[in-house]
């Protein structure tokens, strides 16, 4: 059972698991969702086998991660319950109110304002919106299941591609991130508006990417430090200026 903080997240996870039934994407099977007394909004699903594995220097690992993401993106909008991503219509893009994400966050928002229309490029498909190695279980060298669909929505596939690129760039370095991106494109994936979605992804670990260190360690990354991930995020943002 997953206890989720908001009704919208529980609804999104349940709707995504329904959409995934009968597809080639390995994912939990929905058993029940709703508001449980004293627990709050909950989703009950089958257990996914395997464990978390991070091998960013392994081309086969990157390839299988890419393959399952492409399978997710082959699912067109259908059914009820999942929202469409607002894209360029995010209210905070036009607002002058600080995001409380520090100076780097404001730098990202200024860059994103100039490219906001690129968020509308590409046809919507199923997007996980939190796709990274910490949400992928492996067994015997293969993807056994993708978990945590609470942020799922209909959005351009580039949203997931850019988010995973950002995560790899911070946790493993740009070489691994670039290998993933090249593999996704070579297998037929489209990445319209990539820089804009990458800027949006760079806001997610702010104000301090060091807060993600425990999650990266749980996923299997070793040797990461706060100065390293902070430096990598700054370098990634500056490369998009």
| DSSP codes, 15-79 | HHHHHHTTSSS--PPEEEEEEETTTEEEEEEPPP-SEE---TT-HHHHHHHHHHHHHHHT--S-S
Annotated domain spans of the chain: 50-239
The domain made up of 50-239 has a fold known as Aminoglycoside 3'-phosphotransferase; Chain: A, domain 2 (3.90.1200)
pTM: 0.97
Counting DSSP H helices and E strands in the chain, the numbers are 9, 8
The pair of structure tokens assigned to 89 is 């219509």
Alpha-carbon torsion angle 188, 185, 133, 225, nearest 10: 180
Predicted local confidence at residue 189, as pLDDT: 82
Predicted local confidence at residue 188, as pLDDT: 86
| Residue whose pair of structure tokens reads 């039934």 in the numeric block | 21
Q: How many CA atoms lie within 13 A of 190 on its CB side?
A: 12
The pair of structure tokens assigned to 70 is 């492409």
**How far, in Å, are 62, 63, 180, 208, 231 from residue 57 at the CA level?**
8, 11, 10, 25, 20
For the chain, 241 residues long, give each residue's pLDDT as a single digit of tens. 898 989 999 999 999 999 999 999 999 999 999 998 888 999 999 999 999 999 999 999 999 999 999 999 999 999 888 999 999 999 898 888 888 999 999 999 999 999 999 999 999 999 999 999 999 999 999 999 999 999 999 999 999 999 999 999 999 999 999 999 999 999 988 899 999 999 999 999 999 999 999 999 999 999 999 999 999 999 999 999 9
| Separation CA 166–CA 199 (nearest Å) | 9
Around Cβ 142, how many Cβ atoms within 10 Å?
12
């Amino acid at each position: 059972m997953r206890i989720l903080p908001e009704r919208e997240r529980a609804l999104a996870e349940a709707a995504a698991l329904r959409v995934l039934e009968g597809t080639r994407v390995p994912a939990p099977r929905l058993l029940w969702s709703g508001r449980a007394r004293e627990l709050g909004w909950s989703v009950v699903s089958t257990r996914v086998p395997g464990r978390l594995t991070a091998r960013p220097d392994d081309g086969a690992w990157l390839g299988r991660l890419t393959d399952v993401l492409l399978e997710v993106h082959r699912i067109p909008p259908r059914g009820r319950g999942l929202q469409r991503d607002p894209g360029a219509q995010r209210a905070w893009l036009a607002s002058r109110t600080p995001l409380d994400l520090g100076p780097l966050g404001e730098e990202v928002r200024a860059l994103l304002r100039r490219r906001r229309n690129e968020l509308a490029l590409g046809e919507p498909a199923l997007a996980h919106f939190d796709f990274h190695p910490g949400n992928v279980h492996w067994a015997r060298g293969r993807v056994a299941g993708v978990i945590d669909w609470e942020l799922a929505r209909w959005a351009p596939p580039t949203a997931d591609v850019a988010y995973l690129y950002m995560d790899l760039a911070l946790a493993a370095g740009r070489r691994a991130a670039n290998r993933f991106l090249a593999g996704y494109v070579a297998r037929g994936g489209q990445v319209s508006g990539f820089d804009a979605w990458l800027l949006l992804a760079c806001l997610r670990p702010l104000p301090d990417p060091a807060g993600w260190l425990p999650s990266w360690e749980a996923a299997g990354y070793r040797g990461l430090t706060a100065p390293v991930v902070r430096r990598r995020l700054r370098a990634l943002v500056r490369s998009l200026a």
